[in-house]
Amino acid sequence: MAERHGMYIGGRYVGGKDYFDDTDPATGDVIARFPLGSAKDVGMAVDAARDSLRSWSQTPPPARGRILYRIAELLRKDKDRLSRVLSTEMGKVLPEASGDVQEAIDIFEYMAGEGRRLYGHTTTSELRDKFAMTIRIPVGVVGLITPWNFPIAIPAWKIAPALICGNTVVIKPSSDTPLCVYELMRIIEKAGVPEGVVNMVSGQASVVGEAIVRHPHIEGLSFTGSKTTGEWIIKNAGFKKVGMELGGKNPILVMDDADLELAVDGIIWGAFGTTGQRCTAASRVIAQKGIKEKLLAALIKRTKKLRLGKGTDPKTDVGPLINKAALEKTESYVKIGKDEGARLACGGKRLAGPGFFHEPTILDRVDPDMRIAREEIFGPVLSIIEAGSLDEMIDIANGTEYGLSSSIYTRDINMAFKAIERIQAGITYINASTIGAETHLPFGGVKGTGHTREAGIHGIDEFSDIKTVYIDHSGKLQRAQIDVDD
C-alpha cells in the first residue's frame, strides 16, 4: 500500500477525506497517495499565508536570502535521492532529473543573492529641493500553479523569487507529480521558512486551481501550462497580478553551411530530451534544401538508436510520457500528420506492455500549414520542413501562435544576426538547441506563449510591485507640472 502524504498548510501536514494515486508513468505502479484538496483547504492555506505576510515581508531581504541559501544547500545534499524520486514520479532519465534538481539549487542561490539588491532606482525631480526614487514592495499572497514536466525546478523558479521579494505562497502542484513538491516543502520547512509562509494544496485543477485563481485575498498568480488554461485564468483572475508561460512550437533552422553533426546532436536533444515534454522542445526542423536530405538521414540513424525505458535505468535514453492522455495525444498527432500528407520517416508507434511509452518519431515532407507544424504536441514527434532562403525559413518559423524558443545552425554571422532580429521568440540560440535555459537569465516568450519573464532579475519583477517615492524637503507646497521654472 503506497504511503499517504499530506498537504502542507500553516506549517502542518494536513490530510483529506479523499485521496488520489500518484503513479510511476513507466510501470503504472502507485508510488504515493495525496489528498484531494478542496476550496476550503485553499481558504485555510490563504489564511495562513495572510497571517504570516506582515512578519515575513518585514524580515530584511538579506535575512530572507540566508534562508534561501539554506534551501539550496539542503537540496544539494539530497540531490541524488531527489533525482531518483523525480525520475520515478515524472519519468525523465536520471541525468535530466539531476539537472531538474540542479536548476532548483541554482535559482534558490541566485535569488538569495538578490536579497542584497532588490534594486529600485533614483532620479532627478523637476522641482527644487525634492528627491525621487522607486522601491520594490511585495505583491502579497501569491498563488502558484505548476506543471509536471519540471516538478522541482519550476516550483523553485516561482517560490524563490516570491520569497525573496517578501511574498507568502500557496502552491498547487500538478496531480501527476505532487511528491516532488511535497519533498520540496519538507526541505523548505527544514531550512527554517516560518510557518504559513509557504503552503501546498494538492488536488484537482478544477477544484484547487480554480479556488486559487478566484480567491479574493490572493493578489498575484503565476501559472505554467496550456494556452487554453491560461486564457481561462486571464478571464477569471480579476484584478490580480498574473504571470504565465503557455508553451511553444519551437523551430530549429538548419542552413546549408551548418555543422551537420552539431546540428544533429542539438536536434536529437531538443526533440526527444524529456520525451519531447518541454515547452522549449524542438518540434520543428526547418532545413535548407541543400542540407535537408543529409540531415534527415543522419537524424533517422540516430533516432533509431535511442533506447526507451524506465528513467532510473542508466541505459535509458528516452523515458515514458507522463500519462495515458499524453500517450493518446501523441498517437493522435502522428495519425493527423500522416492523414495530412506527411511521410513517417521513423518511429510512429506506442510500445506494448506497461507504461506510457511512444517511439521517438520523425515526420518528413511536412507543410508549414499542417497541424503538426503549428500545434503543440508535447511528445516525441519531430516535423521536418524543407525551405529555400533564410527569409522563407524565418517566415515559417514565425507562422505559429507561439513564440518561446528558437535556434539556428549556421557558420554565417550575418545569417545568425538576421535570425536574432527577425524570429519572433523570447529566446534564440545560435548553434545550440532550443532547450537549456540558465537561471540568471530571463526565460519566457511572446505571442501565445505569454509575456512573462521568469528567472534572472526579471523574475524579481514578476513577484514585486514598484512604489514611487517623492520626498519634498523644500518646506513649501510645490506642484508638479505647475511650479516648474521655464
| 270 and 239 part of one domain | no
| 308 and 370 part of one domain | yes
Distance from C-alpha of 322 to C-alpha of 177, rounded to nearest angstrom: 9
Distance from C-alpha of 430 to C-alpha of 410, rounded to nearest angstrom: 8
Contact 86, 36 (CB under 8 A): no
Q: Closest Cα to residue 396, out of 386, 381, 407? A: 386
Q: Closest Cα to residue 13, out of 209, 198, 162? A: 198
Beta strand extents in 24-124 (DSSP E only): 30-35, 122-123
Contact 300, 285 (CB under 8 A): no
Q: Which one of the listed residues 103, 114, 180, 279 is annotated catalytic?
A: 279
Classify residue 414 by burial, with Cβ atoms within 10 Å: 0-12, 13-18, 19+: exposed
The string of pLDDT tens digits covering residues 51-102 is 999 999 999 999 999 999 999 999 999 999 999 999 999 999 999 999 999 9
Q: Which amino acid is at 406?
A: S
| 238 and 366 part of one domain | no
What is the pLDDT averaged over residues 399-406? 97
| 322 and 381 part of one domain | yes
The string of pLDDT tens digits covering residues 419-469 is 999 999 999 999 999 999 999 999 999 999 998 999 999 999 999 999 999
The string of pLDDT tens digits covering residues 339-397 is 999 999 999 999 998 999 999 999 999 999 999 999 999 999 999 999 999 999 999 99
Q: Is residue 480 part of a domain?
A: no
For residue 218, what pLDDT band results from cuts at 50, 70 and 90?
Answer: very high
Contact 162, 190 (CB under 8 A): no
Q: How many domains would you assign to the chain?
A: 2
Q: Is residue 477 part of a domain?
A: no
279 is catalytic: yes
The model carries a pTM of 0.96
Angle value at C-alpha 441, between 468 and 194, nearest 5 degrees: 65
| 181 and 300 part of one domain | no
The string of pLDDT tens digits covering residues 156-200 is 999 999 999 999 999 999 999 999 999 999 999 999 999 999 999
392 is catalytic: no
HEC assignment per residue over 53-77: HHHHHCCCHHHHHHHHHHHHHHHHH
Distance from C-alpha of 277 to C-alpha of 326, rounded to nearest angstrom: 9
| 225 and 297 part of one domain | no
Q: Is residue 404 over pLDDT 70?
A: yes
In this prediction, residue 483 carries a pLDDT of: 87
Q: Is residue 127 part of a domain?
A: yes
What is the pLDDT averaged over residues 9-22? 96
In this prediction, residue 435 carries a pLDDT of: 94
Q: Is residue 12 part of a domain?
A: yes
For residue 31, what pLDDT band results from cuts at 50, 70 and 90?
Answer: very high
| 242 and 347 part of one domain | no
In this prediction, residue 484 carries a pLDDT of: 81
Structural domain that includes position 37: 7-246+450-469
Beta strand extents in 120-249 (DSSP E only): 122-123, 130-138, 141-145, 168-172, 198-200, 220-224, 241-245
Q: What is Dmax (Cα atoms) for the chain?
A: 82
H or E element, residue 472? strand 464-472
Percent of residues, the chain, with pLDDT higher than 90: 98
| 302 and 354 part of one domain | yes
| 163 and 201 part of one domain | yes
Phi, psi of 19 (to 5 degrees): -130, 160
| 219 and 335 part of one domain | no
Sheet holding 361-364, edge to edge: 343-346, 361-364, 381-387, 282-288, 250-254, 407-409, 429-430
Q: Which one of the listed residues 245, 359, 376, 454 is annotated catalytic?
A: 245
In this prediction, residue 486 carries a pLDDT of: 63
Q: Could you write out the DSSP letters of every residue in 267-331?
A: HHHHHHGGGG-STT-EEEEEEEHHHHHHHHHHHHHHHHTPPB--TTSTT-SB---SSHHHHHHHH
Distance from C-alpha of 66 to C-alpha of 334, rounded to nearest angstrom: 49
Hey, what's the torsion of the CAs at 106, 112, 113, 114, to 10 degrees? 110
For residue 2, what pLDDT band results from cuts at 50, 70 and 90?
Answer: confident
Q: Is residue 277 part of a domain?
A: yes
The string of pLDDT tens digits covering residues 472-483 is 999 999 999 998
β-partners of residue 467 are: 135
| 259 and 164 part of one domain | no
Q: Is residue 1 over pLDDT 80?
A: no
Q: Is residue 485 part of a domain?
A: no
Q: Is residue 479 part of a domain?
A: no
The string of pLDDT tens digits covering residues 270-325 is 999 999 999 999 999 999 999 999 999 999 999 999 999 999 999 999 999 999 99
The answer for residues whose C-beta is within 8 angstroms of residue 276's C-beta and 6 or more apart is 283, 330, 360, 377, 378, 379, 380, 381, 382
Based on DSSP, count helices (H) and strands (E) in the chain, helices before strands: 15, 19
| 232 and 295 part of one domain | no
What does the block give as the cell for 215? 480567491
The mean of the pLDDT values for the chain is: 97
Q: 141: domain CATH number?
A: 3.40.605.10
Q: 272: domain CATH number?
A: 3.40.309.10
Q: Is residue 348 part of a domain?
A: yes
